[in-house]
Amino acid sequence: MDQFHVWFTQARGEGLAEPNAMALATVEPRGVPRVRIVLLKGYDRAGFRFFTNYRSRKGRALLENPNVSVVFPWHPIRRQVSVSGRAERLSEEENDAYFRTRPHGSQVGAWASEYQSSPVRDRAELEERFGQYERTWTGAAEIPRPEYWGGYRILPSEVEFWQGRADRMHDRFRYRLRSEEGSGQLWDIERLSP
Ligand X SMILES: Cc1cc2nc3c(=O)[nH]c(=O)nc-3n(C[C@H](O)[C@H](O)[C@H](O)COP(=O)(O)O)c2cc1C
| String of contacts with ligand X for each residue 65-84, x by CB under 6 A | --------------------
Neighbours of 165 (CB within 10 A): 11
Q: Decide if residue 102 touches ligand PXP (CB under 6 A).
A: yes
Is 34 in the active site?
A: no
Closest CA to 152 of 26, 13, 9, 17: 26
User: How crowded is residue 133: how many other Cβ atoms within 10 Å of its Cβ?
Assistant: 19
In the complex, the smallest distance separating the C-beta of residue 69 from ligand X, rounded to whole angstroms, is: 14
Half-sphere CA count of 125, side-chain side, radius 13 A: 7
**Options 9, 34, 104, 106; binder of ligand PXP; rule CB under 6 A:** 106
Q: How far apart are CA 138 and CA 127, in angstroms?
A: 16
Task: Tell me how far apart the alpha carbons of residues 36 and 101 are, in angstroms, rounded to a whole number.
Answer: 24
| Annotated binding residue 38 | yes
Residue from 7, 8, 43, 51 binding ligand PXP (CB under 6 A): 51
Burial 139-161 (b: 16+ CB within 10 A, else e): eeeebebbebbbbbbbbbbebbb
Q: Does 106 appear as a known binding residue?
A: yes
Closest approach of ligand X to the CB of residue 45, in Å: 22
Q: 30: which strand partners?
A: none
Q: Is 91 annotated as a binding residue?
A: no
Ranges within 19-38 binding ligand X (CB under 6 A): 21, 34, 36-38
Shortest approach of ligand PXP to residue 146 CB, angstroms? 12
CB of 51 or CB of 161, closer to ligand PXP: 51
Residues of the shown chain interacting with ligand PXP in the complex, contacts defined by CB under 6 A? 39, 51-52, 102, 106
Active site residue ranges:
168
Residues of the shown chain interacting with ligand X in the complex, contacts defined by CB under 6 A? 18, 21, 34, 36-39, 50-53, 56-58, 116-117
